[in-house]
Amino acid sequence: MADQPWYQRETDDIFKALDTGEQGLTDDQVAQRRAKYGENRLSAKKQSSLLAKFGAQFKDFMIIVLIVAALIAGATGELVDAIIILAVVLLNAVFGVFQESKAEEAINSLKEMAAPMAHVARNGGTVTVKSDELVPGDIVYLEAGDIVPADMRLCTANTMKVEESALTGESVPVQKQAAVLTASDLPLGDRSNMAYMNANVTTGRGTGVVVAIGMQTEVGRIAGMLDAAEETKTPLQENLTQLGKWLTILILAIAVLVFVIGMLRGQETMIDMLLTAISLAVAAIPEGLPAIVTVTLALGTQRMAKRHALIRKLPAVETLGSTDIIASDKTGTLTQNKMTVEQVYENGQLTPAAEAKVTMTDPIALAMVLNNDGQPDGDTLLGDPTETALIQYYIDRNKQPLATIASHPRVAEIPFDSERKLMTTFNETADHQLTQYVKGAPDQLLKRVTRIADRGQVRAITNADREAILATNHDLATQALRVLAFAYRPVDAVPEKLTSASAEQDLIFIGLIGMIDPERPEVAQAVTEAQAAGIRPIMITGDHKDTAKAIAVRLGILSETPTADDAVITGAELDQLSDEAFAKQVRQYAVYARVAPEHKVRIVHAWQKQGKVVAMTGDGVNDAPALKTADIGVGMGITGTEVSKGASDMVLADDNFSTIVVAVEEGRKVFANIQKSLQYLLSANIGEVLTLFVMTLLGWQILAPVQILWINLVTDTFPAIALGLEPAEPDIMKRKPRGRQSNFFSGGVFANIGYQGVLEGVMTLLVYWLAVTFPVHTSSEMMHADALTMAFATLGLIQLFHAFNSKTIHQSIFKVGLFRNKAFNWAILTAFILLAATIVVPGFNTIFHLTPLNGVQWAVVLSAGIAMILIVEVVKWVQRRLGQE
């Protein structure tokens, strides 16, 4: 409505601009404005139907490949295999819809946060209306306990404080006032004459004129950013899509090549060669991969849930494992989101609060709990967090401050105001002794002090005393502590004309209190573990620069002596940088202070442009757009708003930053296990393809599609899934993050797949050649039947032996343990029984066109499997010697 910010305009000017006044709007004006501006609601993007979400699951390239495989299996008459493959596809789709069905709740939860009712001036009187009925120009009355129903410019503010941490990240309530602010480009947290939608009034009262409603509010602007934020593909999704494309091209090329070669040789019919090409395609498709990925991720979510990390989207499990940057909100995530007394200065000495010897008869104790508006409510305290922390300090030490408050009733007071920065109370004892207690800013209180309490005695204050007090105040402030000074004075009566001039004079200085929103005790260790894992934690907060810097140093995010990559920057300074300049300098900054929601998104984008995988943590409404933009958004389950949780991929049930490090370890393990399964599956498939391809070229009798499908079904399913249950390798959190550029083939896996697949194929062909060259039976038909059966047994069993190789990419399987994964042991045994049954069970072997083998033939087959383990172990030893781990 105006180019000039509301906080820079006089109240009368705003009334004129909005055509309103202290008497409020009339019903006609309200109706006209509602027609013009709409309701005070947050709009939401149209949600996809359940059917549309289900259909979207089939757009994945790998799923399309699987459907093709099912059609191929059906075309060969293997309906059971086709049904199994389709069942895998459907299960994957259902699981995806189930996991992601709540992704659109972020905007809805923003709507639910709106204040239900508001007290408004209408038609010259006061009425209570639903908050969604407010319009620009309405005059709203606010008092302690109210939720601000719209963005408003305050007209009056009487000792009013508003808690805005969910919007600004400010850890303590903000003192509000009605005077004009002349500075330009003030961040939200410094606009002390504004009250924003969904903020909470903690103390005092005031009135305001509504200047923005619905999507025009600051919360609405965040909702719009959240709605417009693009969904980021996880590294896992990108890897699977890339893999699916490569496999499709490879499968088609091989199938066409074999078909053409077979037709050129002229020894087979077109139907036979078509079936051969189909067999090759079936052999090349790892139809179990999506199911294995889904199961591995699902099992990872279960393990993480037990460790308080709740996963909303399956790929987020693996994404954590590739995280390079953890961009963390400070308030409520790295800190406890509650003020705590940390230092006590009394009798000329500064003492850590935990070590201070205090009793409720000490003047400083009486001043802290009596000059205080905190109120008990059952087992909790209500009021300004700073004041409740002063009482809680003594509750935690079993000093019964509530009894002291009850026995010293307040008989008069001078409320705090932002100009004099002091608060005074007069409290009376049971024997009618009256004492005045004063608290406030040290520099302001010292102006009114003439004496000082010193070890039980009262004496005149000296210049040395004042210098010591101010020096201590400075030292505490540089540590980002909020400092309060306390004084008292025995009085005979409350002055008849109670003013600051009449009462706040000739005071006796007691001491100082240093307070802070402290870091969570477990976070420093978690930061150290993250850094050891090559992950860089950075802090993003709405708090002031000095506060942010002090907490970051205490947590180890910043070093005490800043380096080139250890700087602090404010949102205002960030605004002076272009996106290009910021992208070049982003590595310099470890802490961001006084930031707005759009800054958080810029920070995430800047790191992503560096090729980094970014995890963003947060608990407030202001964090939601960045949570959605990041590669993985991490919400807080206890203190987090529904908006932040709805925009997150993962929610921490215990709000514990260290849980993120646990989740990173689990994510790395999940990726490593999927990589092991992929190496196992693709090397097996290459072995199958090579076997069929060479058999076709040499004119040998080839394995039938049903035999290939059975090998795939038995060996691809159980062992591959069991590999997903492998325990984490000991050094997994000492490795550097994989980053965005890595994929499943990184770290030597591509070469491993190649040589191991060739090895499987060569050994299968060798066994076939031995069976033909040294036959057991004289008849040609039986000789070829035995050779095919031995090739079938070798191709299947060699894959089961190779599953042991795949338990670790580079380490010796004898070092990680052959049998420590019980699920894997049972999987191998089950697969062996199912494979052997097709050979040794009468009738069953007829279905698969196989013949029973004698002891010598089984010994040859088993020797090939053992040789597979030994050869791969030798290659791994060479790789380790060459430093290729």
Residue position matching structure tokens 């260290």: 658
The CA–CA distances, whole Å, from 455 to 348, 452, 511 equal: 9, 10, 12
- The enclosing domain of 869 has a CATH number of 1.20.1110.10
Distance CA 852, CA 415 (A): 97
Write the DSSP assignment of 522-533 as a string of letters.
THHHHHHHHHHT
Instruction: Identify the domain boundary among 172, 196, 228.
Output: 228
Question: What pLDDT is attached to residue 797?
Answer: 93
425 and 477 housed in the same domain = yes
526 and 590 housed in the same domain = yes
The CA–CA distances, whole Å, from 801 to 723, 765, 776 equal: 13, 17, 26
Question: pLDDT tens for residues 739-775?
Answer: 766 777 777 888 898 899 999 999 999 999 999 888 8
Instruction: Identify the domain boundary among 485, 516, 547.
Output: 516
> Looking at the domain assignment, is residue 73 inside a domain?
no
33 and 134 housed in the same domain = yes
681: burial class by Cβ within 10 Å (0-12, 13-18, 19+)?
A: buried
CB 440 within 8 A of CB 416: yes
> Looking at the domain assignment, is residue 56 inside a domain?
no
Distance CA 828, CA 447 (A): 82
Question: pLDDT tens for residues 802-836?
Answer: 999 988 888 888 887 778 888 889 989 999 999 99
DSSP at 514: E
Total residues found in the chain within this entry? 885
> Looking at the domain assignment, is residue 103 inside a domain?
no
494 and 431 housed in the same domain = yes
Higher pLDDT, 111 or 501: 501
360 and 504 housed in the same domain = yes
174 and 244 housed in the same domain = no
> Looking at the domain assignment, is residue 451 inside a domain?
yes
477: burial class by Cβ within 10 Å (0-12, 13-18, 19+)?
A: middle
> Looking at the domain assignment, is residue 553 inside a domain?
yes
172 and 278 housed in the same domain = no
Q: Which distant-in-sequence residues (6+ apart) come within 8 Å of 1 by Cβ?
A: 17, 18, 136, 211
286 and 410 housed in the same domain = no
> Looking at the domain assignment, is residue 55 inside a domain?
no
Distance CA 71, CA 85 (A): 9
Question: pLDDT tens for residues 515-558?
Answer: 988 888 888 888 998 898 899 999 988 778 888 888 888 899 98
Distance CA 691, CA 579 (A): 55
534 and 497 housed in the same domain = no
Question: What pLDDT is attached to residue 657?
Answer: 77
Q: Which distant-in-sequence residues (6+ apart) come within 8 Å of 807 by Cβ?
A: 676, 723, 726, 813, 816, 818, 821, 824
- The enclosing domain of 651 has a CATH number of 3.40.50.1000
- The enclosing domain of 443 has a CATH number of 3.40.1110.10
534 and 638 housed in the same domain = yes
> What is the number of domains present in the chain?
4
In the chain, pLDDT over 70 holds for what percent of residues? 83
- Give residue 461's pLDDT band: very low, low, confident or very high (50, 70, 90): very high
CB 132 within 8 A of CB 114: yes
Residue 647 β-bridge partners: none
Mean pLDDT computed over every residue of the chain: 82
- The mean per-residue pLDDT over the stretch 487-502 comes to 92
Distance CA 107, CA 842 (A): 63
Residue 374 lies in domain: 340-516
Question: What pLDDT is attached to residue 272?
Answer: 63
> Looking at the domain assignment, is residue 99 inside a domain?
no
Question: pLDDT tens for residues 265-320?
Answer: 766 667 666 666 766 666 666 666 666 776 777 777 777 877 778 777 667 777 78
| Residue of 692, 681, 688, 689 lying closest to 715 (CA atoms) | 681
pLDDT at 194 over 90: yes
Catalytic residues: 329
- Give residue 111's pLDDT band: very low, low, confident or very high (50, 70, 90): very low
- The enclosing domain of 177 has a CATH number of 2.70.150.10
348 and 466 housed in the same domain = yes
511 and 524 housed in the same domain = no
> Looking at the domain assignment, is residue 66 inside a domain?
no
In the chain, pLDDT over 90 holds for what percent of residues? 31
* CA within 13 Å, CB half, 703: 32
Instruction: Identify the domain boundary among 605, 631, 655.
Output: 655
